């Protein structure tokens, strides 16, 4: 903890006096990139934050199964970088796909984003996937993880790798990635989750996507949680996907994002990537997880079309 106390107090007082102006800017998508969303008391420099994120990302890469299909990887990276360009983020990002049935994505400080195959499979349009990824980009842009660590006085750098973010669903990555994390560290600041929701819909909107796709995805997750609590309990049990999050997002869209005549809803590439993920990586609900699995190599060719799952088009398809 090397920050002088006086400096911290001054920064804190300034934040209070200008907070309503800063809040207004945070709600205005025209101010994206021009509003310092990551400000707030933080013991970590950007450099330290990147080093920390890199270290955590290495742990995930060591302990989980990454998807190495280049078509999937290239697509997710391109989708992510486009969102980053339309965000407040100031650090370079990497995006990777992790095998796992969680309907989740998560990010580490400094721009390391991981998307579970389960989330790709559960999304019905590119806009829905973009919404979940934009939420993660927002956590990074707003420096939520290190700000929360700072607030929790977890100032010892060595202990911070034990803190993992809740991701898109608010569910900690701990179980999915198989990391040995003490539960005590998995506390989430609701305000940061709401802020990531609020910023995320702005980023996807600015990138041209229909922000209501996020509401669609929330609705399906909420109803899935009600309908089959047992099936997905491990995804939701610590931090449920709640209806108020859905309602707040609807309100934010109505208040902050003037509707446009055209939005990107989905692309044929999204369908192709989702089909590849479905056929190659995703464990079926009733399948025995201990059964040995065969994996098709990308060279084996594209999987067959699933004609019963047409993309949801609201206004128009993406043509470029």
The answer to whether 141 and 88 have CB atoms below 8 angstroms apart is yes
Cβ 123 to Zn ion, closest distance in Å?
16
Q: Interaction with Zn ion in 258-297: which residues (CB under 5 A)?
A: none
Cα 248 from Cα 9, distance rounded (Å): 32
Which CB sits closer to Zn ion, 192 or 270? 192
Return the range that interacts with Zn ion (CB under 5 A); candidates 94-102, 116-124, 148-156, 187-195. 187-195
Q: Interaction with Zn ion in 188-217: which residues (CB under 5 A)?
A: 193, 196
- The b/e string for 70-82 (b: 16+ C-beta within 10 A; e otherwise) is eebbebbbebbeb
Which CB sits closer to Zn ion, 67 or 145? 145
Count of residues engaged in binding Zn ion, rule: CB under 5 A: 2
Cβ 296 to Zn ion, closest distance in Å?
33
Return the range that interacts with Zn ion (CB under 5 A); candidates 2-10, 56-64, 185-193, 306-314. 185-193
Which CB sits closer to Zn ion, 69 or 193? 193
Cβ 5 to Zn ion, closest distance in Å?
31
Binding mask of the shown chain, residues 112 to 151, with x at each position contacting Zn ion by CB under 5 A: ----------------------------------------
Cα 102 from Cα 120, distance rounded (Å): 10
Cα 232 from Cα 171, distance rounded (Å): 11
Which CB sits closer to Zn ion, 135 or 276? 135
Q: Interaction with Zn ion in 84-103: which residues (CB under 5 A)?
A: none
Cβ 138 to Zn ion, closest distance in Å?
8
Cβ 217 to Zn ion, closest distance in Å?
13
Please give the residue whose beta carbon sits closest to Zn ion in the complex: 196
Which CB sits closer to Zn ion, 134 or 196? 196
Which CB sits closer to Zn ion, 142 or 207? 142
Cβ 167 to Zn ion, closest distance in Å?
6
Which CB sits closer to Zn ion, 101 or 193? 193
The size of the chain, in residues, is 320
Cα 79 from chain centre = 13
Cα 176 from Cα 251, distance rounded (Å): 32
Neighbours of 186 (CB within 10 A): 18
Cβ 289 to Zn ion, closest distance in Å?
26
Cβ 16 to Zn ion, closest distance in Å?
25
Q: In 3D, which of 168, 150, 172, 169 has the Cα closest to residue 159?
A: 150
Q: In 3D, which of 115, 255, 253, 264 has the Cα closest to residue 197?
A: 253
Which CB sits closer to Zn ion, 80 or 276? 80
By the criterion CB under 5 A, which residues form the site for Zn ion?
193, 196
């Amino acid at each position: 903890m090397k920050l002088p106390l006086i400096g911290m107090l001054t920064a804190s007082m300034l934040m209070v006096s200008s907070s309503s102006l800063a809040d207004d800017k945070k709600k205005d998508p025209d101010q994206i990139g021009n509003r310092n969303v990551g400000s707030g008391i933080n013991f970590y420099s950007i450099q330290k934050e990147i080093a920390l994120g890199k270290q955590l990302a290495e742990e995930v890469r060591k302990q989980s199964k990454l998807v190495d299909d280049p078509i999937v990887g290239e697509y997710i990276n391109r989708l992510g970088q486009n969102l980053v360009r339309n965000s407040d983020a100031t650090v370079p990002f990497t995006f990777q796909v992790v095998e796992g049935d969680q309907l989740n994505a998560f990010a580490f400080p400094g721009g390391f984003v991981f998307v579970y195959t389960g989330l790709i499979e559960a999304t019905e349009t590119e806009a829905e996937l973009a919404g979940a990824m934009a939420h993660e980009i927002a956590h990074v842009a707003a420096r939520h993880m290190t700000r929360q660590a700072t607030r929790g006085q977890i100032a010892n750098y060595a202990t911070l790798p034990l803190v993992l973010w809740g991701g898109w669903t608010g569910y900690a990555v701990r179980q999915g990635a198989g990391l040995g994390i003490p539960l005590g560290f998995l506390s989430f600041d609701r305000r940061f989750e709401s802020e990531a929701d609020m910023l995320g819909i702005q980023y996807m909107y600015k990138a041209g996507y229909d922000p209501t796709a996020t509401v669609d995805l929330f609705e399906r997750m909420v109803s899935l949680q009600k309908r089959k609590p047992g099936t997905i309990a491990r995804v939701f049990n610590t931090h449920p996907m709640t209806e108020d999050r859905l309602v707040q997002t609807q309100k934010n869209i109505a208040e902050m994002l003037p509707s446009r005549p055209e939005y990107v809803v989905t692309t044929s590439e999204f369908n192709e990537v989702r089909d590849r993920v479905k056929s190659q990586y995703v464990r079926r609900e009733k399948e025995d997880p201990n059964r040995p699995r065969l994996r098709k190599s990308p060279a084996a060719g594209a999987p067959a079309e699933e004609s019963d799952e047409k993309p949801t088009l609201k206004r128009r398809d993406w043509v470029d």
